[in-house]
Structure 1
């Protein structure tokens, strides 16, 4: 873990009584957006002060995130953003294969225009060789797909998955082609949706997820070896 990188403060104050849930949501969002990286240390004292929380309340939020495998507690060392392994990748993709094809096939709030705009942003990132921009667009694409479910519970679950996904994708930072070739696969999905071929788009998404999972597992294997 990168223990030299320590996250001590985040903006904002806890707005209501359920502040441990609020803090967990805030930290999860920061991870999903790539602001917190695998191995970053979360300073309990500084975070509690900056968020206006008691340390006990912050520990409750850490417990929530720990249960989601987004952070790791190491005795006598502290709390760190997790570094996912092969088992995490398999779990993430099992959830994604259940949710995302269903949203493509049946999501009642599917916004093809919004998805097209995200593809434009991803292509701009690819043209500029900007990997973080491509990664951000990829996250936004999948978040928008799940938003189409019109279900707050499904979106909440996907928020947890996106946070873990971001940590997995960080492991691919030394493989820029990983993000670039999924830009056009996302574009293909949008093309199918624009033609009203939702079942075909759902099938393509299942194949897409199988391929992405295999590529990630192969990379993790190679790094471990």
Structure 2
């Protein structure tokens, strides 16, 4: 927890004089998405509020917002925890991803497309793999899919998927072998990028559809073994 709180202290400057529950929620959502708070982690009001320099009421409102987004859960007389997803949650996350991401890619108009962010996410994952940091590879993979969604040029779509990707990170956290989970998608991410560079969004959409179906199968397999259908952890 000390490392996570140190990171939050660094984020304190982002709040400035216009500190609001929404901005606190943005910071915590990003930290959850980047893996600083794994599923089942109890979030201390005193520690987090102190690290960010915000009032208890502001922090509680931020917690409420993230609970509404299904990232946190409040347990009576125990506190607020990062949510542990169920298999049904995971399946719904992937259903949403398939609907949105594939639609974005297939609806792209005539090339060229703004692919700089996508290319950087691919390179980020490959650099992390060379260093053997498979958690960072998972983060880069999420960045890749955020950049895919960003090709729509829609703030509303970006906002919708921001919470979906944060939930996805919760699913990744229960994987006991992140190397096995993430390595195959390094090649597949680059193949999708090259297909878009070639001006073939329909082909990229087909690749992405198969990609997401395979990823769902892998994650659900792990979930059934380590978490159970109802989110009751066995790890």
Q: Fold-level match, TM-score > 0.5?
A: yes
**1:51 to 2:55 alignment:** no
Query: How many residues end up aligned between the 2 structures?
Result: 221
Mapped partners of 1:19, 1:81: distance in 2: 21
1:84 is matched with 85
- Residue 81 (structure 1) shift: 1.2
Preserved contact between residue 108 and residue 201 of structure 2 (Cα < 8 Å): no
Matched, 1:168 2:171: yes
What do you get for the CA RMSD once the two structures are aligned?
Answer: 2.2
Give 1:168-187 correspondences, 5 Å limit: 168-187=171-190
Maintained 8 Å contact 1:42/1:79: yes
Where does residue 38 of structure 2 map in the other structure?
37
In the alignment, the residues of structure 2 paired with residue 170 and residue 224 of structure 1 have an alpha-carbon distance, to the nearest angstrom, of: 11
**3-state DSSP class of the match of 1:87?**
helix
Which deviates further from its counterpart, 104-113 or 120-129?
Answer: 104-113
Paired residues of 2:118 and 2:193 also in contact (CA < 8 A): yes
Of 214, 217, 221, the match for 1:218? 221
* Residue segments in structure 1 that go unaligned for 5+ positions in a row: none
Q: Which runs of 5+ in 2 are unaligned?
A: 229-235
Question: C-alpha separation between the residues in 2 aligned to 1:117 and 1:94?
Answer: 26
Q: Secondary structure of 1:73's partner? A: strand
TM-score normalized with structure 2 length? 0.85
TM normalised by structure 1 equals 0.88
Q: Which residue number in structure 2 is paired with residue 71 of structure 1?
A: 72
Secondary structure, counterpart of 1:176 in structure 2 = helix
Q: Is the 8 A contact 2:135 2:178 kept in 1?
A: no
Q: How does 1:1-225 map to 2 (within 5 A)?
A: 5=1, 10-11=8-9, 12=12, 14-15=15-16, 19-107=20-108, 110-224=113-227
Residue 208 of structure 1 deviates from its aligned partner by 1.1
| Inter-partner Cα distance in structure 1 for 2:224 and 2:118 | 33
Question: Which deviates more from structure 2 when the two are superposed, residues 175-184 or residues 113-122?
Answer: 113-122
Secondary structure of the residue that 2:93 maps to in structure 1?
Answer: helix
Q: 1:159-198 CA deviation, whole Å, 9 max, x = no partner?
A: 1011111111111242421100011111111121111110
Give me the whole-angstrom Cα distance separating, in 1, the residues matched to 2:113 and 2:165.
19
